[in-house]
Structure 1
Amino acid sequence: MEKPAIKSYTLAEMKDKYVGEAGSAEREAYEYELSMDVLGRMIKAARQEQNLTQEQLGKLVGVQKAQISKIESSSNSATIDTILKVFRALEAELHFNVRFKNKFIQLR
């Protein structure tokens, strides 16, 4: 007896089904949360690579340790100004890629 074929799904199909269609409020919120999580993990990895504590990084940036902790744990309370200061304190290069209706703009 032949086994039935297993249907496979793309990540986009799974997101559409379980999170919401692309462009929906639910999907936009999910994508935003995911971006903030990735950003927080990048900051934490860079801080640890430089052997800095959250307190030491906070002093370089001019914020409390708790603010660094919130940023690293993907809390959405950080301003873009604070995030930029964090990257400067970590001596990290920051590049922006922006897409406008299928057209990418890259700023360095």
Structure 2
Amino acid sequence: MAAKNRKMKMMTLDQMKDQDLGKVGTPERDTYEFDLRMEILGDTIKSVRKERNLTQEELGKLIGVQKSQISKLERNTKNVTVETILKVFQALEANVRFRVEMNDVEFEVA
């Protein structure tokens, strides 16, 4: 009966990340956030490629790389240059915007 009377403490996702990974700005949290963004980028490339009815091989030909490179890019964008990512999105006819934050200064490139 005592278990029924206990209340669960509700936490937001950010509170859980703070607790398990550390606050924003700590190395562990920054690594997690970076990895998450890279995974989303790969998923986005795959999704847009499919929307454009392109195979990995066809997209590779458009930017001058092998099908295997497109496959790797869609699975893991960590070891890819910005130039390659821009070529991919240009071939997919997608608009790209970058935002860079450094020392409280923000740059946005469209």
TM over 0.5: yes
1:75–1:104 CA distance, 2 compared to 1 (3 A): closer
The answer as to whether partners of 2:60 and 2:70 remain within 8 angstroms in 1 is: yes
Cα distance, 1:20 vs. partner? 2.5
Runs (4 or more) in structure 1 with deviation over 6 Å come to none
Q: Bigger shift: 31-40 or 92-101? A: 92-101
Q: How far, CA to CA, are the matches of 1:49 and 1:95 in structure 2?
A: 20
Q: Which runs of 5+ in 2 are unaligned?
A: none
The answer as to whether partners of 2:41 and 2:77 remain within 8 angstroms in 1 is: no
Partner of 1:62: 64
Query: What RMSD over aligned residues (CA atoms) do the two structures have, in Å?
Result: 1.9
Cα distance, 1:39 vs. partner? 0.3
Partner of 2:16: 14
The answer as to whether partners of 2:60 and 2:69 remain within 8 angstroms in 1 is: yes
What SS does structure 2 have at the residue aligned with 1:106? strand
Whichever structure has more helix as a proportion of its residues is 2
CA deviation string 1:28-65 (max 9, x = no partner): 11111101000001000000001111011001011111
Partner of 1:87: 89
- Percent identical: 48
Partner AA of 1:31 in structure 2 = E
Q: Which runs of 5+ in 1 are unaligned?
A: none
